[in-house]
Amino acid sequence: MLPRYDPNDNEAGMKLLEDLTTNAHQVQQQVLEKILTQNVHTEYLSSFLNGHSNKKLFKEKVPVVNYEDIKPYIERIANGEPSEIISAQPITELLTSSGTSGGQPKMMPSTAEDLDRKTFFYNILMPVMNKYVDGLDQGKAMHLLFIKPEIITPSGLMARPVLTSYYKSNNFRNRPFNRFNVYTSPDEAILCPDNKQSMYCQLLCGLVQRDEVLRVGAVFASAFLRAIKCLEDYWRELCSNIRTGHVSDWITNPSCRNAVSLILSKPNSDLADLIEQECGSKSWEGIIKRVWPRTKYIEVIVTGSMAQYIPTLEFYSGGLPLVSTMYASSECYLGINFKPLSKPSDVSYTLLPNMAYFEFLHVEKNHEQVSEEIQCNTTISDKNCTQKEYKKEIMELVDLVDVKLGHYYELVITTFTGLYRYRVGDILMVTGFHNNAPQFRFVHRRNVVLSIDTDKTNEDDLFNAVTQAKRLLKPLGFLLTEYTSYVDTSSIPGHYVLFWELKMKGNNDLPELDHAIMEQCCSIVEDSLDYVYRRCRKKDNSIGPLEIRVVKHGTFDALMDFCVSQGSSVNQYKTPRCIKSEEAINILDARVVGRFFSKNVPFWESFRM
């Protein structure tokens, strides 16, 4: 299923992509056939298919599932039962996703072969880039990559984020060109478990090699902006390291320190002067282009929730293209961008037909889930729903090559690693076709309202967290009458902002606000948000302290008036729990009477099984 070719041969790579997309239907059929024949005797599939690996039967009998449905199977594997519960190939590790379930990260199965699939995916990105940008082989890439904590499950399996798993693999170490030093970051700096040291060292290496850098980037826009912030905070120290040829003493991770010292090698005061001059200038507009003048583009994902960072990136980039090359998840790597230089708002991804078997649940244009109404037939736990309802659900699913232009779908995947008809939770819109393979714009993630880094907070999470916090107000006779939220990314790192309208029980007077209590409310909200939020906040420092802005009486009426003026129906009006419109935020901000920030870092520790 993974075609062999020389990753240095651009033409061969492009030809392969043409073949895959031209034969999208056939490849998808082969993928499903392979997955079924391989896994038909797993406990999971045999409970629906009784040992038959028939594709038609698969579509009739195997239910579309959410994580909660498969969680018991995953947990059994984590606790030491054999992989054959869901996968004929041994599950070699569990990949912790940024989605959470019951406060813990979701865990996706992975196999040894899956690493090769990811390697194929990464390698095939380069021929596409080379088609649009000349001369990338004449210099280096400053890709700022990081690892995150991992745990060992009771069965001895490693559970860790997908990128950590990949960066720690031999496939990554042996990636094409790595031995020719085409990346400015040494693997030792990427693999340094202390993110602060890792970031500092990678920036130092990128600065030292600035004349050779042709492209810069990180996986997501949020991480790249954190690197800019780190440069802002540390440029004097970085320059001093370059001037003296000595790495700061607080870089204590031995292998990281050694690798970086080798790159720093000798004092270079000319380079230090140059960087000091650029970083010392009053405005940082275009700083990337000024510090790394040969850079041709910035490679960061700026679609989906990352789109909020585009204006800030544009400010720093000096007009460089922002390139989103790929769409991937812990469950499976998904699609690539065939037109990497297109504007961020025009980016579409083509799902590679050999990565998994893809199906699509139709959703209404206003993104309300059509099939959500047919709840009972979508889960294993609801096997006793009527056949009629089940049929209806099946009819909602279409194959990759059958999606329609302009229509919205939720992605459902069947992977080589033990997920069958699994709802990823992403809503995609069909924007066109590359040969016979559809191209999709990423629209949004189902339910998510707030996201800064890899955190994904939905309305329920927010509601529950606010409910916990408002317990503190009750004994004081305060009532929280309305709330909404937005993510403030005007500074780095961004932070969640909640607007609260408070009044005294029995009248509309604004309560006298006690700073300590309000700050405690901020902390309780943070403590009540999920594992990934708290990790980003405590361990990764990629989210700043949560803020509550108390607004005066009548503010939410003004918000409603505004929403109605924009076309909301008065009858059906519901306070939006997350605000994106700048005008709406201004309406709320103009009525703020008190601002409070969380003073504590929320509790977080690597999860335990």
> Which of 21, 28, 97, 523 contacts ligand AMP by CB under 6 A?
97
Does 329 bind ligand AMP (CB under 6 A)? Our answer is yes
Q: How far is the CB of 327 from ligand AMP (least distance, A)?
A: 4
Residue 545 CB: number of other CB atoms within 10 A? 19
Beta carbon nearer to ligand AMP, 287 or 298: 298
Beta carbon nearer to ligand AMP, 495 or 535: 535
Does 454 bind ligand AMP (CB under 6 A)? Our answer is yes
Q: Report how many residues bind ligand AMP under the rule CB under 6 A.
A: 16
Give me the DSSP letters along 549-599. EEE-TTHHHHHHHHHHHTT--TTT----SS---HHHHHHHHTTEEEEEE--
> Which of 304, 418, 438, 494 contacts ligand AMP by CB under 6 A?
304
Which three-class secondary structure string do you get for 207-242? Answer: HHCHHHEEEEEEEEHHHHHHHHHHHHHHHHHHHHHH
> Which of 28, 119, 324, 439 contacts ligand AMP by CB under 6 A?
324
Strands (E) across 111-200 are located at 140-144, 151-152, 158-160
Is the omega angle on the peptide bond into residue 321 within 30 degrees of 0, that is, cis? no
Residue tagged 């089940």 (tokens): 390
Q: How far is the CB of 64 from ligand AMP (least distance, A)?
A: 16
DSSP reduced 3-state for 481: strand
Question: Considering only 69-77, 254-262, 327-335, 540-548, which stretch makes contact with ligand AMP by CB under 6 A?
Answer: 327-335
Whole-number Å distance between alpha carbons of 495 and 479: 25
Q: Which residue type, as a one-letter code, is found at position 248?
A: S
Residue 401 CB: number of other CB atoms within 10 A? 17
> Which of 117, 296, 445, 591 contacts ligand AMP by CB under 6 A?
445
> Which of 327, 333, 409, 486 contacts ligand AMP by CB under 6 A?
327
Question: Considering only 242-250, 324-332, 377-385, 548-556, which stretch makes contact with ligand AMP by CB under 6 A?
Answer: 324-332
Does 303 bind ligand AMP (CB under 6 A)? Our answer is yes
Count Cα atoms within 13 angstroms, Cβ side, for 183. Answer: 21
| Cross-strand pairs, 512 | none
Q: How far is the CB of 185 from ligand AMP (least distance, A)?
A: 21
Question: Considering only 22-30, 300-308, 586-594, 596-604, which stretch makes contact with ligand AMP by CB under 6 A?
Answer: 300-308
Determine how β-strand 140-144 pairs with β-strand 213-220: parallel
Does 100 bind ligand AMP (CB under 6 A)? Our answer is no
Residue 251 CB: number of other CB atoms within 10 A? 21
Q: How far is the CB of 608 from ligand AMP (least distance, A)?
A: 20
Whole-number Å distance between alpha carbons of 447 and 46: 32
| Cross-strand pairs, 491 | none
- 501 near 476, Cβ under 8 Å? no
Residue tagged 């996706």 (tokens): 108
Question: Considering only 19-27, 116-124, 243-251, 301-309, which stretch makes contact with ligand AMP by CB under 6 A?
Answer: 301-309
- 269 near 276, Cβ under 8 Å? no
Question: Considering only 7-15, 21-29, 275-283, 296-304, which stretch makes contact with ligand AMP by CB under 6 A?
Answer: 296-304
> Which of 426, 453, 501, 547 contacts ligand AMP by CB under 6 A?
426
Q: Binding pattern to ligand AMP, positions 462-501, x when CB under 6 A? A: ----------------------------------------
Instruction: Give the list of residues 6+ apart from residue 293 with CB closer than 8 angstroms, or none.
Output: 210
Does 162 bind ligand AMP (CB under 6 A)? Our answer is yes
Q: Which of 122, 301, 138 is nearest to 222 (CA)?
A: 301
Two tokens, residue 599 = 């003073």
Does 457 bind ligand AMP (CB under 6 A)? Our answer is no
Whole-number Å distance between alpha carbons of 85 and 46: 10
Beta carbon nearer to ligand AMP, 313 or 328: 328
Beta carbon nearer to ligand AMP, 330 or 523: 330
Question: Considering only 276-284, 292-300, 320-328, 588-596, which stretch makes contact with ligand AMP by CB under 6 A?
Answer: 320-328
> Which of 205, 216, 328, 584 contacts ligand AMP by CB under 6 A?
328
Q: How far is the CB of 43 from ligand AMP (least distance, A)?
A: 25
What is the per-residue burial (b if ≥16 Cβ within 10 Å, else e) of 154-175? Answer: ebebbbbbbbbbbbbbebbeeb
Determine how β-strand 592-597 pairs with β-strand 349-351: unpaired
Does 338 bind ligand AMP (CB under 6 A)? Our answer is no
Residue 52 CB: number of other CB atoms within 10 A? 15
Does 550 bind ligand AMP (CB under 6 A)? Our answer is no
> Which of 39, 87, 89, 98 contacts ligand AMP by CB under 6 A?
98
Q: Which residues contact ligand AMP by CB under 6 A?
A: 97-98, 162, 301, 303-304, 324, 327-330, 424, 426, 442, 445, 454
